[in-house]
Structure 1
Amino acid sequence: MAEFVEGFETLASVWPAVSVFGGARVARDSETYRQAEVVARLLAESGFAVITGGGPGAMEAASRGARMGGGRTVGLNIKLPSEQRPNRYVETVVNFDYFFVRKVMFVKYACAFVGLPGGYGTLDEMFECLTLKQTRKMKNFPVILFGTNFWSGLVDWLENRCLEDGMISRKDMKLFTVTDSPEEVARIVSQSWRRRQRESEEEVEGKSPKI
Structure 2
Amino acid sequence: METLEEFDRVLASAGSLAGWRVQSIDLRERTAALRGVATDGAVFLGCPMEPEAAAAARAGGALVFPPVPDLPFDPYRGLLYDAHELFENLSAGYEGTPDARAYAWFRETGGDGDIFSSMLRAIHDDSVNDALDELLVGARVVGVMGGHALKRGSDAFADAARLGRTLARSGLTVATGGGPGAMEAANLGAYTAPFEDGVLGKALEILAGSPSFTPSVGAWAEAGFAVRDGWPDGGRSVGIPTWFYGHEPPNVFASHIAKYFVNAVREDGLLARSNAGVVFLPGAAGTLQEIFDNATPNYYQSRGGPTPMVLVGEEHWTRTLPAWPLLCALAEGRPMAGRIALVDSVDEVPDTLERLGHGGGDGA
TM range (shorter): 0.7 to 0.9
| Equivalent position amino acid for 2:284 in 1 | G
Match for 2:352 among 173, 188, 192? Answer: 188
Q: Tell me what 1:110 maps to.
A: 274
1:24 match: secondary structure: coil
The number of aligned residues is 189
1:171 paired with 2:309, answer no
Relative CO higher for 1 or 2, CA cutoff 8 Å, sep ≥ 6? 1
Q: Is this contact kept in 2: 1:42–1:182, CA < 8 A?
A: no
Match for 2:298 among 133, 137, 149? Answer: 133
| Equivalent position amino acid for 2:190 in 1 | A
Give the direction of change, closer, same or farther, for the CA distance of 1:30–1:6 in structure 2 (3 Å limit): same
1:147 paired with 2:313, answer yes
1:107: Cα distance to partner?
2.2
Unaligned runs of 5+ in 1: 197-211
1:79 paired with 2:243, answer yes
Q: Is this contact kept in 2: 1:4–1:101, CA < 8 A?
A: no
Moved more, 81-90 or 71-80: 81-90
2:241 match: secondary structure: strand
**TM-score scaled by structure 2?**
0.47
Distance in 2, matches of 1:8 and 1:130, equals: 25
**1:62-90: CA deviation from partner (whole Å, max 9, x where unpaired):** 11111122342111111046532211211
1:6 paired with 2:128, answer yes
Unaligned runs of 5+ in 2: 1-121, 195-234, 360-364
C-alpha RMSD of the superposition? 2.5
| Equivalent position amino acid for 1:125 in 2 | E
Moved more, 170-179 or 7-16: 170-179
Distance in 2, matches of 1:180 and 1:98, equals: 33
Distance in 2, matches of 1:84 and 1:9, equals: 23
1:142: Cα distance to partner?
0.3
1:18 match: secondary structure: strand
Give the direction of change, closer, same or farther, for the CA distance of 1:69–1:180 in structure 2 (3 Å limit): farther
Q: Tell me what 2:185 maps to.
A: 61
Q: Is this contact kept in 2: 1:21–1:114, CA < 8 A?
A: yes
Give the direction of change, closer, same or farther, for the CA distance of 1:82–1:17 in structure 2 (3 Å limit): closer
Distance in 1, matches of 2:264 and 2:331, equals: 27
1:158 paired with 2:323, answer no
Question: Which of structures 1 and 2 has the bigger CA Rg?
Answer: 2
| Identical aligned residues as a percent | 29
1:77 match: secondary structure: coil
As a proportion of its length, which structure holds more strand? 1
Match for 2:288 among 116, 123, 143? Answer: 123
